[in-house]
Structure 1
Amino acid sequence: MTTRIVLVRHAQSVPPPFGVPDDDRRPLTPAGVEAAKSLAERLVAYEPAAVLSSPQLRAVQTVTPAADALGLAVTTWPELREWESGLLPSADWEDRYARSWAHPGTAHGAGESLDALTSRAGKALARMAGEYPDVTVLVGSHGTFLTRALIAAGCRMDWAFCRALPMPAVYEIMR
């Protein structure tokens, strides 16, 4: 049995304000909403049996047009949410993320390490394969989660790949 998992990084979202924890209700920008609508036809062509998403609004908004076109509900799974880094949004976020990628076992404060995120992503992929055998599942998520899910699936990925991911981006995993 093989499950095709189509991972979708959310479209362009409103940037988080510096110095405060990220907001799960942070939406797509108007350009992001249009990109999600434009992406729907491509995602529908995969003929998914289910549409899953991170509970964070920007991910849900990205896969909703495809789900609507398919007549499917978007089901949120908390384990699909973005990396809980423990880092507040800041002007030097890229340097801080690069250091985290260089030391993936390190956690910041109450946040999770990148290794922990990889484990969480791997368990989510296994759950999808168990609950949706022999079908395609469409998954709305985030850049760091998507990259660490690819790592959990055996792909060699790094910070440069993660940083260069477009919004939106689409990748397939077979489980």
Structure 2
Amino acid sequence: MSTRIVLVRHAQSVRPRLGEPDYDERPLTENGLAAAESLVPRLAAYSPTAVLSSPQRRAVQTVTPAADALGLDVITWAELREWESGLLPSADWETLYAYSWAHPEFAHGSGESLDALTARAGKALARMATEYPDTTVLVGSHGTFLTRALIAAGHRADWDFCRAMPMPAIYEVTSSQAAGA
């Protein structure tokens, strides 16, 4: 059995405040909301049986228009949330992220390492395969999470790939229950 998983990176969101913890309710910008609406025909064409999302508002807002058009609810899963980096938004975030990508076993402070994020993403893919066998699932999430999910699914991706990922972006993977992810 296999599950087609359509990973959707959220559309353009309001920027986090520098020096302050990021917050789950950070929304999409007006352009982001328009982009989410423009995704509807493309996402509906996959004929998903379920729409899952990170509980973070920007991810939910990105997949909600498609879910509404399909008559489906958006189901939030905590494990689909963005990387818990342990970093405050800062002007030098790219340098800090690049370090993490070069050392994926490293965790900043009480944050999650990229290796731990990859494991979390892989478990989420396996859960989707178990709960939604032989169907298509739309998944709203975030750039770093999606990149690490692609890695967990056996695809090659790196920091340059993650940095260049547009908002929104769509990727497709197949998860097999037999393979576990």
Give the TM-score of the pair, scaled to structure 2. 0.96
Deviation at 1:39, TM superposition (A): 0.5
Is 1:71 the counterpart of 2:71? The answer is yes
Is 1:55 the counterpart of 2:58? The answer is no
Match of 1:5 in 2: 5
The SS at the match of 1:3 is strand
1:79-118 aligned within 5 A: 79-118=79-118
Query: Which amino acid in structure 1 is aligned with residue 154 of structure 2?
Result: G
Deviation at 1:156, TM superposition (A): 1.1
Please give the per-residue CA displacement for 1:49-94, whole angstroms capped at 9, x wherever unaligned.
Answer: 0000000000000000000000000000000000000010000101
The SS at the match of 1:133 is coil
Query: Which amino acid in structure 1 is aligned with residue 115 of structure 2?
Result: D
Q: 1:20, 1:105 → 2: CA distance?
A: 25
Q: 1:21, 1:115 → 2: CA distance?
A: 22
1:32-47 aligned within 5 A: 32-47=32-47
Q: 2:65, 2:51 → 1: CA distance?
A: 11
Deviation at 1:23, TM superposition (A): 0.5
Q: 1:136, 1:164 → 2: CA distance?
A: 26
Structure 1: give runs of 5+ residues left out of the alignment: none
Match of 1:136 in 2: 136
Match of 2:150 in 1: 150
Deviation at 1:2, TM superposition (A): 1.0
CA-based RMSD: 0.3
Please give the per-residue CA displacement for 1:7-47, whole angstroms capped at 9, x wherever unaligned.
Answer: 00000000000011101000000000000000111000000
Q: 2:55, 2:143 → 1: CA distance?
A: 15
Is 1:29 the counterpart of 2:29? The answer is yes
The alignment of Structure 1 onto Structure 2 pairs a total of residues equal to 175
Q: 2:92, 2:108 → 1: CA distance?
A: 15
Query: Which amino acid in structure 2 is aligned with residue 108 of structure 1?
Result: H
Identical residues among aligned pairs (%)? 78
Q: 1:4, 1:154 → 2: CA distance?
A: 14
The SS at the match of 2:52 is strand
Give the TM-score of the pair, scaled to structure 1. 1.00
Structure 2: give runs of 5+ residues left out of the alignment: 176-181
